[in-house]
Amino acid sequence: MKNLILYFFLVITSLSFAQSSLKGSVTADGMPLQQANIVLKKAAKTTISDENGDYSIKNLAPGNYEIVASYTGFRSESRNITLIDSTELVVDFYLKENNSLDEVVITGTMKPVSRLESPVPVEVYKPTFFKKNPTANIFEALQNVNGVRPQLNCNVCNTGDIHINGLEGPYTLVLIDGMPIVSGLSTVYGLSGIPNSLLERIEIVKGPASSLYGSEAVGGLINIITKNPKNAPIFSADTFITDWGELNVDLGFKGNVGKAASVLTGVNYFNYSNPIDNNNDNFTDVTLQDRVSVFQKWNFNRKSNKQLSLAGRFFYEDRWGGELQWEKKYRGGNEVYGESIYTKRWELLGAYELPTIEKMLFSFSYTDHDQNSVYGDMPYLAKQRIGFGQLTWDKKINNHDLLFGTALRYQYYDDNTTATVDEDVNWIPSLFVQDEIEINDNHKVLLGARYDYNNNHGSIFTPRLAYKWKINDNNILRFNTGTGFRIVNLFTEEHAALTGSRDVIVLEELKPERSFNANLNHLKKIYTNNGTFIGLETTAWYTRFSNSIIPDYDSNPNQIIYKNLDGYAVTKGISTNVDMVFNNGLKMILGATYMDVSKTENNTTTRQILTEKLSATWAISYRINKLFLDLDYTGNVYGPMRLPLLGDLDPREEYSPIWSIQNIQFTFNKFKNLELYAGVKNLLNWTPNKGNPFIIARANDPFDKEVQYDNSGNVQATPDNPYALTFDPGYVYGPNQGIRSFIGLRYNLK
C-alpha cells in the first residue's frame, strides 16, 4: 500500500513540474537572420537566433504566451501560443522590411529617437539601397538620393562635392558616427575612401543644423553611421570590376578580444589605371586613381553596459588626370599638363559614456590631412589638422527631454598660397542646449540654441525651433526653422581657384555667411487591403543668405572674383519621396525635386551657376523567387543648369541639356551567404560632350603659351584661338564616363 501511494505521488509531482520547450527560426526574404531578438513575454525569457537563424527556449511551464521576434530594420512579429505538457512547439517567423519608416535615428536631435517621433525630418538609407547600384565610394553612392547631387568640379582631376537642395558642397557637413570628420581640405576628397562594407546606414538632414553641429551645417548634413562590431558578420567581401578596368575591393573582418572588446576592421582598395579618351581631346576622360583605406572600430564591454568605442582610419590616394602622354616625370612642369594629387589622411574618433547616474557622453575626433598636389605647373601643398571634443548631458524632466552640450574645436591650416601667409590656427569653444517638449501624444516642440566664439569673428548665436504634429498614426506634419553661419576657407573649398588659368581676385576681407531657413514636412503612410505599403514624404523649404560668398565667373572671363554679396541669395523649392512595396516582390523608391536657387544684387536677380531647377531619382526592384534573381533599375534625371562660360565667343552651350544616368543590375542569390551580381552603368551612354564642340577649353594649349592678350589683359581672338579662350577644365556638370558593364560578388560569413 505504501508503494502504491508513493507511485501516485511521483506521477502527480512529475505532472505538476512538466516542462515544455519552444524552438523555431527567423528569416527574411528566404535568408536567416542572425541575432534576432525573441522575447517570451509572460515568462520574461529572451534569446537570440544563431548564425542559421534558429532559436530555442527550454524549461517552460504549460500555459498561454505571447512571443515576439524583432530585428533592426524589420517589422516586429508577435504570435499567441499555447504550450501543453512536455511538448516541443515549433514557431517560425518571417520578418518583413520595416516599411513603416519607423527606424531609430540620431542625427536630427543628437540622440536616439524613433524617426516618426523626431520633430526634425531625417532621411535614412541602408546598405540595401546602395547595393542596387554598386559604387566604389560614398560620393558616387549618393547619386540616387533625391535632392542630393554629387557635383564634379573639374574635368581633369574629377574632384567633387555634395550638393543638397542646390547648395554647394561646403554648405554640407559630413559626419562619421556623429563626429565632424569630413570638412575643409577633405570636402573634396574625403568621401572617396570610406569602405561601403562598414555602413550601417546613412542619415540625411536637409536644412540648417548649425544650432547642434556648428558652422558647416548650413545647407544640411550627412551622417555616415558605421556598423557595431557586435552586429557585423565575421567576414564580408564585396568586390567588382568594370570593363573600363576599374577594380574595387571591400573587405570586412570581425573579431573578439576575449570578453573585453569586439573589433571590426574594414579595408577598401580601388584602382583605375587605364587612360581612356573617348571624346578625343587628348585628356583623360576619367581620373586615374590608386587608393587604399583602412578603418578599424573597437567596442569595449563595460560592466555598466555604458558605451565605450574607439575608431580610426588611414587613407592614402594617388590620383592624376591630364594629357594622355603625362608621366610622373612631368609632375609640376610645363611640358605636359597633368593634375596630380597625393593625399595622406589619418582619422581618430571615439565615444565614452561617463560612469555617472546621469546620461553623459564624451565624444572626440582628430584628423590630420596632408595634400601634395600640382595643377599643371602650379603646386598646392596644404596641411590641415582638426581636433574636436564634445560633452553632452541627456536629461529628462517630466515632459521635457533636455540636451546640454559643450564643444571645443581646434583648426590648423597652412598652405603655400598667398591666401595663407601665416599658419591659420583657430580655437572655437561652443555651448548648446536643446529642449524637446512633449505637449501631449500628438504635439512636440523642440527649442534649441548654440553659442560659438571664433577669435576671428567673435560671438555667433544660432537659435532653432521645430514642431511636430502627429495628426494620426499615418500622418505627421513637421515645421522647422533656424539660423546658420559659415566661415569660408577659400582655397580648401573652391577647387576652381587652383585649376585652369583664371586669376583669383579676393576684393575684400570675407565675412561669415549668415542664413535663415524654414521648411515644412509632411509624412503620410498608406496601407492597402492587399498588403501594399506606400510612404509619401513632401518637404517645402526656403533659405535666405546674407553675406553670401558666390564665385563670380561672369564679370571677367579671366578671373574668379570672391566677395561678400551686396544683396542676398535664396534657395527655395519642394521635393517629394515615394516608397512603394508590393506583395508581388516589386519595390519602388521615387523622388522628385523642384527648386529655384538665385542671387540678388543691385536689384538684379540671376540664377546661380550649376544649379538645376528639376531633378528626379528612382530605384525600382523586383524579385523573381523561382529564379533566385533580383532586378534593380536605378537612375536620375536633371534639368538644365547654367554653366560657366569664358566669354561671349565661347561656343559651348550656356545651359546643360536635360540629362540622365541610368543603370541596371541583376543579382543571383541562390547560394548561402553568397551573391553574384552583374549589370550595366550609364545605359544611355550619356556624357557632357554631347552637343558641345569640346568640354575642356584650349585642351591643345593647357599652359596658354599661344594665347594673346590686349593691353587691358583681355584675351584676343586669333586664327589659332578664334573663340578668345584660355585653358579651363571647369565646364563640368556631370560624369564624363560613358556606358560600362560590371560584374562582382558579395560574401558574408555570419
Quick one: pLDDT at residue 595?
95
Residues 404 and 550 in one domain: yes
Query: What is the Cα–Cα distance from 583 to 561, expressed in whole angstroms?
Result: 56
pLDDT band at 185 (very low <50, low <70, confident <90, very high): low
Among 94, 118, 145, residue at a domain's last position: 94
Same domain, yes or no: 237 and 203: no
Distance CA 748, CA 263 (A): 17
Tell me, what CATH number does 124's domain have? 2.170.130.10
Q: What is the CATH number of the domain that holds 408?
A: 2.40.170.20
Residue 682 and residue 613 share a domain: yes
- Our count of domains for the chain comes to 3
The pLDDT tens digits of the residues spanning 670-705 come to 888 899 999 999 999 999 988 899 999 999 999 999
Same domain for 146 and 261, yes or no, is no
Question: How would residue 10 be classed by pLDDT, with cut points 50, 70 and 90?
Answer: very low
* CB of 196 closer than 8 Å to CB of 227: no
Least confident of 175-179, 532-536, 657-661: 175-179
pLDDT interval class at 14 (50, 70, 90): very low
Cell (9 digits) for 607 = 540664377
Query: In this structure, what CATH number is given to the domain that contains residue 70?
Result: 2.60.40.10
Question: Is the domain of 398 the same as that of 428?
Answer: yes
Main-chain dihedrals φ then ψ at residue 631, nearest 5 degrees: -115, 130
**Do residue 10 and residue 117 come from a single domain?**
no
Same domain for 22 and 117, yes or no, is: no
Confidence at residue 471, expressed as pLDDT on a 0 to 100 scale: 95
Three-state secondary structure of 377-397 = CEEEEEEEEEEEEEEEEEEEE
Q: Are residues 536 and 677 in the same domain?
A: yes
Per-residue confidence (pLDDT) for residue 12, from 0 to 100: 45
Domain membership flag for residue 509: yes
Q: Which one has a higher pLDDT value, 302 or 551?
A: 302
pLDDT greater than 90 at residue 282: yes
Looking at the fold, whether 193 and 322 belong to one and the same domain comes out as no
Q: What is the pLDDT of residues 731-743, one digit of tens each?
A: 888 889 999 999 9
Q: Which of 339-348, 506-515, 540-549, 661-670 has the lowest mean pLDDT?
A: 506-515
Tell me the per-residue pLDDT of 631-646, one tens digit each, with 9 for 90 and over. Answer: 999 999 999 999 988 8
User: Is residue 8 pLDDT above 60, yes or no?
Assistant: no
Task: Kindly state whether residue 566 falls inside one of the protein's structural domains.
Answer: yes
Q: State yes or no: pLDDT of 527 exceeds 80.
A: yes
Q: How confident is the model at residue 15 (pLDDT cuts 50, 70, 90)?
A: very low
More confident call, 119 vs 553: 119
Closest to 704 measured CA to CA, from 377, 467, 448, 445? 377
Q: Which residue has the higher pLDDT, 292 or 528?
A: 292
Q: Final residue of a domain: which of 94, 125, 158?
A: 94
- For residue 9, the model assigns a pLDDT of 47
Q: Which domain holds residue 220?
A: 104-224
Whole-prediction pTM:
0.83
Same domain, residue pair 629 and 611: yes
User: Which string of DSSP letters, residue by residue, matches 329-370?
Assistant: GGTTSSSS-EEEEEEEEEEEEEEEE-SSSSEEEEEEEEEEEE
Residue 234 domain flag: yes
* Percentage of the chain exceeding pLDDT 90: 45
**Position 16 confidence tier, pLDDT thresholds 50, 70, 90:** very low
Residue 99 lies in a domain: no
What local confidence, expressed as pLDDT, does residue 667 receive?
96
Identify whether residues 351 and 361 lie together within a single domain. yes
707 pLDDT band (50/70/90 cuts)?
very high
579, part of any domain: yes
Does residue 511 carry a pLDDT above 70? yes
The closest alpha carbon to 33, from 200, 230, 231, belongs to 231
Structure confidence at residue 208 as a pLDDT band (50, 70, 90): low
Percent of the chain at pLDDT exceeding 70:
89
Instruction: Give the DSSP H or E segment for 637.
Output: strand 629-638
Domain assignment of residue 460, yes or no: yes
Q: Which of 224, 253, 277 is the last residue of a domain?
A: 224
**Do 46 and 131 fall into the same domain?**
no
Q: Give the dihedral of Cα atoms 599, 604, 610, 612; nearest 10 deg.
A: 90
Which comes out higher in pLDDT, residue 195 or 41?
41
